[in-house]
């Protein structure tokens, strides 16, 4: 008899396979969209942790969220981005700062503000989907 895999481990495994498949077939625009999706997912998990009373110090989802914001900041094309590029850079920097502040005090309100800002950018990004 084979040992059973815990459902959470199996679910995570299939989620990673699905994400890998999406990354491999995505356009550059789609890859940025995937970053936004993963960032929002991580922020949702961080918010869930805060609501449960867990300390955010060392939280892997918080670290992932900060890493994704740094990656998004690094992907800004200042040459082709016009006036939007520096504005987006400021928003990302503010979000990164907000996450760092929230992590120090488990500030649910600050986390929600960051998540809302990222969601707004994500929805705008989706609307720019190339035809």
* Token pair listed for 94: 């503010």
What is residue 14's predicted lDDT score, i.e. its pLDDT? 47
Check whether 39 has a pLDDT greater than 60: yes
Q: d(Cα 90, Cα 37) in Å, to the nearest integer?
A: 20
The answer regarding whether domain 28-128 maps to CATH 1.20.120.340 reads yes
Q: In this prediction, what percent of the chain has a pLDDT beyond 70? A: 78
What is residue 18's predicted lDDT score, i.e. its pLDDT? 56
Check whether 13 has a pLDDT greater than 60: no
Report the chain's mean pLDDT, rounded to a whole number.
84
Q: What would the pLDDT profile of 48-91 be if each residue is shown by its tens digit?
A: 999 999 888 889 999 999 999 999 999 898 998 899 899 999 99
Give the DSSP letter of residue 82: T
Check whether 7 has a pLDDT greater than 90: no
Q: In this prediction, what percent of the chain has a pLDDT beyond 90? A: 56
* Token pair listed for 129: 């989907």
Check whether 96 has a pLDDT greater than 50: yes
Residue partners of 32: CB distance under 8 A and separation at least 6: 72, 75, 125
Check whether 113 has a pLDDT greater than 60: yes
Q: d(Cα 6, Cα 50) in Å, to the nearest integer?
A: 25
DSSP letter string over 23-81?
A: HHH--HHHHHHHHHHHHHHHHHHHHHHHHTT---TT-HHHHHHHHHHHHHHHT--TTTS
């Amino acid at each position: 008899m084979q040992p059973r895999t815990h459902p959470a481990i199996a679910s995570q495994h299939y989620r990673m396979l699905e994400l890998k498949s999406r990354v491999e077939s995505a356009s550059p625009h789609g890859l940025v969209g995937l970053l936004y999706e993963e960032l929002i997912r991580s922020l949702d998990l961080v918010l869930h942790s805060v609501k449960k009373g867990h300390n955010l110090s060392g939280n892997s989802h918080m670290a992932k969220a900060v890493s994704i914001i740094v990656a998004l900041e690094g992907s800004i094309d200042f040459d082709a981005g016009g006036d939007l590029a520096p504005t987006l850079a400021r928003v990302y920097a503010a979000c990164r700062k907000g996450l760092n502040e929230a992590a120090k005090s488990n500030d649910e309100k600050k986390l929600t503000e960051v998540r809302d800002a990222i969601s707004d950018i994500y929805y705008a990004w989706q609307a720019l989907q190339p035809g």
